[in-house]
Structure 1
Amino acid sequence: VLVTRTRVGMLVRAGATNPRMVSALGVDIRRLFMIVFGFGAMLAGFAGVMSGPILSVEPGMGDGVLILAFVVIVIGGIGSIRGAFVSALIIGLVDTLGRSFMTDIFKAFLAPAAANQVGPAIASMLIYLLMAGVLFFRPSGLFPAAGR
């Protein structure tokens, strides 16, 4: 809502598209982008403070989240906020349901010992298989950004 419905959001979108024109209209584009970067850094710091007591804080603790964020962006469409939101929901559902039910699904047509080995392995690959399918059928993502 902030990016699509406010004046600041309009300036950020216009500055990302054509910074020279926005600068010619009297907006200090460098300062605007500095403020946006600072706001993003503040949100990232806030997220770190909130997750610090829950997770163990260690170097490289964000690697798993970074890979998932890449998958979300690719599936949703690069540059699309709506696509990122929808694809994050889809990935969360696919990952959770896959980890919950994949072993039971494989027990329907495999021996229980084999299903206990294959189920978790396939469940951990489901989001990447989803990403491959989306890239095969819609290379620009589910909700590509306008103009891409």
Structure 2
Amino acid sequence: MSPTNRRVCQAILYEIGAVAMVTPILSVAFDAEVSTTLPLSVLMATIALVWNYIFNALFERWEKNQIAKGRSWRRRLVHGAGFEGGLVLVLVPLTAYWLDITLLQALLAEIGLLATFFVYAIIFTWAFDKIFGLPISAQDRSA
């Protein structure tokens, strides 16, 4: 699979899972109707989808220049932290506005979602790599 097709496939599958998880979590946490949280989840997933593509392109560019190839758990942790950290900057104000809550409440909600998605991102990427193989940037080409 080409790097571009791989990134698009990975991002779309990741966000489908994200919407399925976030919608009920937000509904329960904020006692809100699914009719309110589903559109928010889809908007958040769309933002994350764009960020996912950009972040993975940047990460793979960095990864390609690393001496150690492959994806250790340490590298996967760095990947997950970088991806989720970038989302906080956009999603906290969006969540506060959409649910009509304070930035602090939105930040606390986002921290809860980040903890969930940090684990989800690492497991999802591991499973995706197992099914589709490592990207070219992580393969040892010296053999």
TM-score bracket relative to the smaller structure: 0.3 to 0.5
Q: Which has the higher helix share?
A: 2
Larger radius of gyration: 1
Higher RCO structure, 1 or 2 (CA under 8 Å, sep 6+): 2
